[in-house]
Amino acid sequence: MKIAFGTDGWRGTIAEDYTFDNVRRCAQGFARYLLDNDNAGKGVVVGYDRRFASEHFAAAVAEVMAAHDIRVHLTQGATPTPVISYSVVALGAGGGVNITASHNPPWDNGFKVRDRYGAAIDPHDLKEIEALIPPIEEVKRLPLDKAEARGLVERFDPAPVYIEHLKDLIDVGPIRRAGLLVVHDAMWGNGARWLERILGGERMRVVGIRQERNPLFPGMIRPEPIPPNIEACQEKVREIGADVGIVNDGDADRIGLVDEAGGFLNQLQVYGLLALYLLEVRGWRGPIVKTLSTTSMLDKLGEIYSVPVYHTGVGFKYVAPKMLEVDAIVGGEESGGYAFRGNIPERDGVLAPLFFLDFMVQTGKSPSQLLEHLYEVVGARYYYDRIDYYFSPEEGEIVRRRVREARPESLAGLKMSNLDTTDGYKYSLEDGGWLLIRFSGTEPGLIRIYCETTYEDKVGALLEEGMRLAGLEPERGG
């Protein structure tokens, strides 16, 4: 079968197309890419998540790399994606491989690749790697025990160096001493016990839920930190009277937040809050990078603080290169992933909640008070929602054609001001809001319809308009 790389790399269904043979083929394609670009001599970091057999797929990658005389730094256990990515930089490696499907359904797994900066590899180079993937008959492999005996594979604990690195970015002492009560929901994934490890030991109390490994991710379709998946965290916050709830996705590169009343702070609100924290509390100045699927509040903050705001396509394969190019203070996307200057240009679901907790401590405000403060700064309240819709292969081309040919002059009574087709179809509206229709880059057969508006009563109507533009029934979205 032909393996096609999408956002970050390749994802597939375990045992159907995501097999050991196909993972080894991907590994050889990446090994050839590293050799061709003179990065192989610096070695490669290989890590993995808590999904089914991820540690064994990671070992298969290590065997292929070792067969090409590329030294492998193999993580000792399941590790948050940002920690794996930072290890690439800390060890001076030429790149990284992460066995994870992030927030995909439990039957999927993935093969993510990173460059020497620990960042997502740009689309051009992803295609280059894809073109180097050979048939299984051409794959070279050195058994793991022999590779370890020859010193080509070394297991390591990436945590201590990463935690030491955090000291350059944030002083966690005030957070530890603030006496906050925090619920941390790991969603059965890689973020388990990381906040407790970093913040425990003083007046801070972290109550962990869903910290165990469970590759089925019970109670959710996929481990994504959005409703309804966060209900367990919301209930725990209300039960114990916590100050805030923090939710990680399956590989801990994204976050969701729950306020002190158990309400959900959506991903666009969180990005606006994190940017405001850096600008207002930390006094950072520099560009902001955002995907076209995230909040217009960032553009408002750019105007207010006189910093440029760059828009990219969806995915960190676009965000990371732009962050490096312009030396951005922050980059992020709608799915809850945020990256920061001084760290890797990669989503970091360990650092982001530390910044948010510091925002609370430094201002003395609760999450809901911080949100009200953000709205005061940008001069309006913003409302957001999203529909995910799975269509059949038979519907696929019809849906794509309908969206491609649609040219509305207004949506839900709001005049259109612009159509951006950089990545999907984004209709900008007269109130500063927008509607985006986009086909997923990681899950075939999935269309996402997003909107943000300053009119709370128009959110549902805008999403329905998006469904109708695609020729889909609004009640079938979810």
Please compute Rg for the chain using Cα positions: 22
pLDDT confidence band for 477 (50 / 70 / 90) = very low
pLDDT above 90: percentage of residues in the chain: 88
CA dist 181 and 272 (Å) reads: 23
Model confidence at 280: pLDDT above 70: yes
Model confidence at 474: pLDDT above 70: no
Model confidence at 445: pLDDT above 90: no
383-476 — its CATH code?
A: 3.30.310.50
Contact between 119 and 113 (Cβ < 8 Å) = no
Assign a CATH topology to domain 9-158: Alpha-D-Glucose-1,6-Bisphosphate; Chain A, domain 3 (3.40.120)
Helix (H, G, I), strand (E, B) or coil at 252: coil
- How big is the CA angle at 80 (ends 74 and 83), to the nearest 5 degrees? 70
Query: Domain coordinates of the chain in residue numbers?
Result: 9-158, 167-378, 383-476
At residue 70, φ and ψ (nearest 5 deg) are -100, 120
| 121-125, 196-200, 291-295, 377-381: least confident range | 121-125
CA dist 264 and 41 (Å) reads: 46
- Which pLDDT score, from 0 to 100, does residue 391 have? 85
Model confidence at 157: pLDDT above 60: yes
100-124 burial: b if 16+ Cβ within 10 Å, else e: bbbbbebbbbbbbbbbbbbbbbebe
Contact between 247 and 257 (Cβ < 8 Å) = yes
Angstrom distances, CA of residue 384 to CA of 160, 296, 297, 347? 38, 11, 12, 21
- What does pLDDT average to over the chain? 95
CA–centroid distance for 237 within its chain:
24
Residues whose CB falls within 8 Å of the CB of residue 362, separated by 6 or more in sequence, listed in order: 174, 281
Between the CA atoms of 115, 121, 127 and 132, what dihedral angle is there, to the nearest 10 degrees? Answer: 20
pTM, rounded to two decimals: 0.94
pLDDT tens per residue across span 364-391: 999 999 999 999 999 999 999 999 998 8
CA dist 24 and 61 (Å) reads: 6
Residues whose CB falls within 8 Å of the CB of residue 147, separated by 6 or more in sequence, listed in order: 62, 63, 66, 67, 72, 153
In CATH terms, 167-378 corresponds, of 3.40.50.11540, 3.40.50.2300, 3.40.120.10, 3.40.50.720, to 3.40.120.10
The H or E element containing residue 208 is strand 205-209
Model confidence at 325: pLDDT above 70: yes
Same fold, 9-158 and 167-378: yes
